[in-house]
Amino acid sequence: MDLDAIMRRWELEQLFTDYVHCLDADELERWPDFFTEDCFYRITSAENYEASLPLGLIYATSRNMLKDRVSALREANIYEPQRYRHLVSSIKVLKDEGARLDLAANFLVVRTMQEGDMTLFAAGRYLDQVRRDDGTWKFARKNVVLDSRQIDTLLAIPI
Amino acid sequence: MDLDAIMRRWELEQLFTDYVHCLDADELERWPDFFTEDCFYRITSAENYEASLPLGLIYATSRNMLKDRVSALREANIYEPQRYRHLVSSIKVLKDEGARLDLAANFLVVRTMQEGDMTLFAAGRYLDQVRRDDGTWKFARKNVVLDSRQIDTLLAIPI
Amino acid sequence: MDLDAIMRRWELEQLFTDYVHCLDADELERWPDFFTEDCFYRITSAENYEASLPLGLIYATSRNMLKDRVSALREANIYEPQRYRHLVSSIKVLKDEGARLDLAANFLVVRTMQEGDMTLFAAGRYLDQVRRDDGTWKFARKNVVLDSRQIDTLLAIPI
Q: Report the residue of A147, A149, A152 to disrupt the C interface, i.e. the one with the largest count of C CBs within 10 Å.
A: A147
- State what percent of residues in chain A have pLDDT above 70: 94
Which ipTM score applies to this complex? 0.92
Q: Is residue B44 within 8 Å of B31, Cβ to Cβ?
A: no
Strand extents, DSSP E, chain A? 35-45, 58-60, 82-96, 100-113, 118-133, 136-146
- State what percent of residues in chain A have pLDDT above 90: 66
Nearest Cα residue to B156 out of B82, B101, B106: B82
> What is the pLDDT confidence band of residue A25, given thresholds at 50, 70 and 90?
very high
pLDDT higher than threshold 70 for residue B1: no
Nearest Cα residue to C101 out of C41, C15, C3: C15
Q: Is residue B24 within 8 Å of B83, Cβ to Cβ?
A: yes
Strand extents, DSSP E, A74-117? 82-96, 100-113
Q: Which residues of A touch B90 (CB under 8 A)?
A: 16-17, 20-21, 86-88
> What is the pLDDT confidence band of residue A84, given thresholds at 50, 70 and 90?
very high
Q: Which residues of C touch A106 (CB under 8 A)?
A: 20-21, 24, 85-87
pLDDT of residue C157: 79
Half-sphere exposure of C147 (CA within 13 A, CB side): 30
Q: Report the residue of A1, A9, A17 to disrupt the B interface, i.e. the one with the largest count of B CBs within 10 Å.
A: A17
> What is the pLDDT confidence band of residue C154, given thresholds at 50, 70 and 90?
low
> Which chains neighbour C (Cβ–Cβ under 8 Å, 3 or more pairs)?
A, B
Q: Which residues of A touch C4 (CB under 8 A)?
A: none
Each residue's pLDDT tens digit, A100-157: 999 999 999 999 988 888 999 999 999 999 999 888 999 999 999 999 987 765 566 7
Longest dimension (CA), chain C: 49
Q: What is the mean pLDDT of residues A64-73?
A: 93
pLDDT of residue B84: 93
Q: What is the mean pLDDT of residues B49-77?
A: 87
Reported pTM: 0.94
Q: Which residue of A has its CA nearest to C89?
A: A89
> What is the pLDDT confidence band of residue A1, given thresholds at 50, 70 and 90?
low
Contact across the interface for A104 and C21, Cβ inside 8 Å? yes
**Apex CA C147: angle with CA C13 and CA B72, to 5°?**
105
Q: How many residues does chain B have?
A: 159
Contact across the interface for C110 and A120, Cβ inside 8 Å? yes
